[in-house]
Structures are given as C-alpha cells and as structure tokens.
Amino acid sequence: MASFQKHVNHELSPMACPVDLDDVDLFGVGAQEHWYEAYEILHRESPVFRIEGGGITPGTDAYVLTKFADVDMVVKDPVRFPSLTARRIAALAEQGLTAEEAYASNHNLMQTSMMSLRPTQELYFKHRRELTDPWVGPGALRHRDMIAQHANDLIDEWIDDGDVEFISRFARPLPQRVMSSILGFPQEDIPQLAAWGDAAVTPFVHGTGLKHEMTPEQTEDMIARLDGFQDYIYEQVKAKRLDPQDDMVSFLCSVTYEALDRKLTDIEIAGIVHAMILGGLETTQYALEEQAQLLCENQGVYERLRGDRSLLRSFTEETMRMRAPTHGLSTRTTANDEVLQGVKVPAGSLLHLRFAAANVDEEEFECPYELDLERERLTRHVTFSAGPRVCPGATLSRLEQQIAWGTLLDRIESIEYGDDNDWMHQPGIMLGTLRLNLRFGKADVPMSLGTGR
C-alpha cells in the first residue's frame, strides 16, 4: 500500500480506500476519492474487469478496460469495436430507416447531434471538418486574444485579494465565457446557459453505474431544468439568420454542409450547440482545477513554468494525462468475440473505456504518478480518446488551458493551497473537485512573456 500514498491527492477523504480486488467499485458512492488506488489494483489483478449483467441487452456483460494498449487499440478500430451510436444506426437501418430520417426532427438534441448529420464514419469526418473544426478544432487558434481577455478579466476580479476559490472564480467561468463568445451568445446569458449546461451533464454527474443510469425522477427533473434551452437556441438562430455576426452559430446558419449538399435545419444547429455546451464546459474546468492542485503538490514547477513558457504545453499535457477529466465512458462494443489481456470478451459486449486508468498504466508510462515535463511523446495519453472519434474540441481545450496558465503565470508569482480544502469530488464519471481555495502572491510587475497582458 505504501506506493499509493505518494499519488493520493485526497488523503483527507473519509471514503474507504480499496485494498484488494473485492473492494474495487469504480461506480459506488464516493468511489472518486480513491479511483487511482483502484486502478493500481485493477492493473495488477484484473486489467479487463467483467461487470456481470452490465451489457447492452439483458444477460450480456460489460468489461472495464484499464490498460493503455487496450483502450488505445479499441478507440482506433471502429470496425472491431463499433460505437454504441454506430450500433443504434445499424438497428435503424434494419428497420428500413436512415438516421437522417429518424432524427431530422427528433427533439432529443443529443440524439439529433449524434446521429442525423453523421451516421457513417465518412460523414462523421466531414461533419467535423466542415462544421466544428473551423471553431473548436484547428480553427480555434483564432480565439487566442478572446480567451486571454476573458482570463484577464476574471483575474482582475480577485488579484488584489491574496486568496481565491479557484473553481467558482476562474476554472468554471472561463470555459463558459469562452464558449459563449464562440457561439455568439450574449455574455449576460451565461448564468442561464451554465444552468442548462449543468442540466445537460446530469447523467454524467448524477447517473449511476457504468451506463450513467438515471431514475425516472432524475430524468424528469433534468428535462424540467432544460426547459427553454431549445427555444433559446432557436431564438438565437432566428436572430443570426437575419443579422449574421462573426460567430459559430451565424456560421452554422449560413454554411452549406457539402457532405449532404444542403444547409442545416434549426434543430440540427441546436444539436451542435447542445454538443458544444455538453462537451466544452466542465471538461476544461476540471483540467484547470486539477492542474492547480498538481502545481500546489509539486514544488518548483510553478517557478519553472514562470521562467520558461515553452514548458507550458508539456505541463498541460502531462497533467491531463495524470488527472484525466473524463475518467471513463461506456461507448464502445465488440463486433466479434475477442480476447483482451487473456479475458474472453464475447461479441456484443459493452466496453467501458477507462481513459484515466490507461493514462497511468506503468507499462506505457514509466513512473506514471510523477509529473515529468520531459516525458517523451507526451500527447499520446488518451484523455481526449484517440482515433477517428477523438474529441472534436481538443484543440480549443488545449489552447484554453495554455492561455489560462500563461495569463496566471504573468500575473501571479506563487500559488499554494489555502485553508479549508477537503479535496472532495462530485459524484459521477468526471474528476470534479468541489472546492479549491488557493493562496497566491500577486506579481509586482506582471510579466508579459505569456499570453496575458
């Protein structure tokens, strides 16, 4: 057990720490507090962990994959390991329906965005290249100044205080402001958008088990909290069709989706906006808050970064490897019978990909719990997944993190933990610290080496 102590970031948690395989329950209440200890046990004793009855259909099983080699292989091979979405589309085809027909007017925005515009792998690529890449993929680089401005505005609010609750006053509002600017939504609507964003991620936070299952009451509550979201997007779309601006929603209103040789409908635009709000807010927030903790826990790194900004990229990649915001997703299946790590996995099984565990697999990453800015091939981690369905917002998130820390390094000369931290996490599948008080030293003369002022 001694080795665990070195990488536990939540020693104060009252939750029981797993000691052997029988104790491991990745989805139980409070499991977040000791996920990393559980991964060490799973890597050693059960790297492909069967969850009996956890499969897609009754009587089938699910398998938790924790080894880097397995997760990396699965996400890169959509033929052997089709996504759940691909399975649903195949099931529709058996009923003689195309996904476009089935979802073109479906009012479940999640399904619309996942299915109607990109039912095949080819269309998936085109969807990304034509519709999202220009704004949150490689095209995100155009947002550099806007992101720095938001970061500086937020820091202005507390720079003279000497301490700050970092999550509510920086890590959470920054991605919200950035995403609103990209979409072209008024900044004063952010509180309402944030509330809808919170509602949209309910399954990933309050759902239980590896399929994020919700009770009927939870589902009803989520629907009630999402009330107005769709109408809000439609109003925005209507306004931007009349008076287009330089923003993503105006772009989506006017673009001809070449893959289908037509313009997008309002509901399709709403589906894309929903995906941006769902994927683009909390994930980057969690990355920033874990990075702050790793800086407090690894003495000397903050000073090193202040002295050499070329290390910022290594820092954000290495910390995302060590503390992946999305710990796991149950989104792939097996097309054939497979044998993974010596475990037979029948065709039609559900695979839970444990990205965070793969990232600390010592067979892939030497001394995985050490923050090593000189680590080779740092970006091979699977925090954003990998392969053809890799996260479409990865470029934006990377940029946001680098600019956020560049700006903080400019204006703050030191940070450390403040008082009253208990390092407890929200429930669900994301690694979200609930509160993070930091004490900091304001830089006498703000540096201008980074992307700040």
Q: Which of 251, 384, 405, 440 binds ligand HEM (CB under 6 A)?
A: 384
Strand order in the sheet with 437-442: 163-165, 437-442, 412-417
Query: Which residues have CB under 8 Å from 80's CB, separation 6+?
Result: 74, 334, 335, 336, 338
Nearer to ligand HEM, 306 or 383 (CB): 383
Query: Which residues have CB under 8 Å from 239's CB, separation 6+?
Result: none
CA distances from 96 to 63, 101, 119, 346, 390 (A): 31, 10, 14, 27, 30
String of contacts with ligand HEM for each residue 248-287, x by CB under 6 A = ---------------------------xx--xx--xx--x
Within a 10 A sphere around the Cβ of 33, how many other Cβ atoms?
20
Nearer to ligand HEM, 154 or 248 (CB): 248
Q: State the minimum distance, in angstroms, from the CB of residue 125 to ligand HEM.
A: 11
In the structure encoding, which two tokens stand for residue 395, read together? 């470029």
Nearer to ligand HEM, 19 or 390 (CB): 390
Strands 350-353 and 343-345: unpaired
Checking phi first, is residue 93 left (phi over 0); if not, alpha (psi -120 to 50) or beta? alpha
Q: State the minimum distance, in angstroms, from the CB of residue 355 to ligand HEM.
A: 6
Q: State the minimum distance, in angstroms, from the CB of residue 140 to ligand HEM.
A: 8
Q: State the minimum distance, in angstroms, from the CB of residue 132 to ligand HEM.
A: 7
Distance CA 380, CA 386 (A): 9
Size of site (CB under 6 A) for ligand HEM: 24
Beta strands in 398-444 (DSSP E): 412-417, 437-442
Question: Cβ distance 37 to 8 under 8 Å?
Answer: yes
Residue 223 has φ and ψ, to the nearest 5°, of -60, -40
Matching residue, tokens 């680089």: 141
Nearer to ligand HEM, 116 or 306 (CB): 116
Rg of the chain (C-alpha set): 22
Residues in 18-77 that interact with ligand HEM by CB under 6 A: 75
Nearer to ligand HEM, 113 or 451 (CB): 113
In the structure encoding, which two tokens stand for residue 58, read together? 């009754």
Residues in 108-127 that interact with ligand HEM by CB under 6 A: 114
Nearer to ligand HEM, 34 or 389 (CB): 389
Give the residue among 267, 277, 360 at the shortest CA–CA distance from 322: 360
String of contacts with ligand HEM for each residue 152-191, x by CB under 6 A = ----------------------------------------
Q: State the minimum distance, in angstroms, from the CB of residue 113 to ligand HEM.
A: 7
Nearer to ligand HEM, 112 or 283 (CB): 283
Distance CA 448, CA 453 (A): 6
Residue 31 has φ and ψ, to the nearest 5°, of -60, -30
Told to check if 385 binds ligand HEM by CB under 6 A, we report yes
Nearer to ligand HEM, 317 or 410 (CB): 317
Q: Which of 396, 408, 429, 438 binds ligand HEM (CB under 6 A)?
A: 396
Angle at alpha carbon of residue 421, lines to 436 and 155, rounded to 5°: 25
Question: Cβ distance 40 to 66 under 8 Å?
Answer: no
Of the candidate spans 161-169, 202-210, 237-245, 389-397, the one that interacts with ligand HEM by CB under 6 A turns out to be 389-397
Question: Cβ distance 57 to 367 under 8 Å?
Answer: no
Nearer to ligand HEM, 34 or 143 (CB): 143
Residues in 288-347 that interact with ligand HEM by CB under 6 A: 325-326, 329, 331
Q: Which helix (H) or strand (E) holds 63?
A: strand 62-65
Q: Which of 26, 99, 109, 136 binds ligand HEM (CB under 6 A)?
A: 136
Nearer to ligand HEM, 149 or 291 (CB): 291
Nearer to ligand HEM, 18 or 404 (CB): 404
Residue type, 87: R
Q: Which of 185, 355, 365, 405 binds ligand HEM (CB under 6 A)?
A: 355
Q: State the minimum distance, in angstroms, from the CB of residue 28 to ligand HEM.
A: 22
Q: Which of 18, 184, 392, 432 binds ligand HEM (CB under 6 A)?
A: 392
Give contact residues for ligand HEM (rule: CB under 6 A).
Answer: 75, 114, 136, 275-276, 279-280, 283-284, 287, 325-326, 329, 331, 355, 383-385, 389, 391-393, 396-397
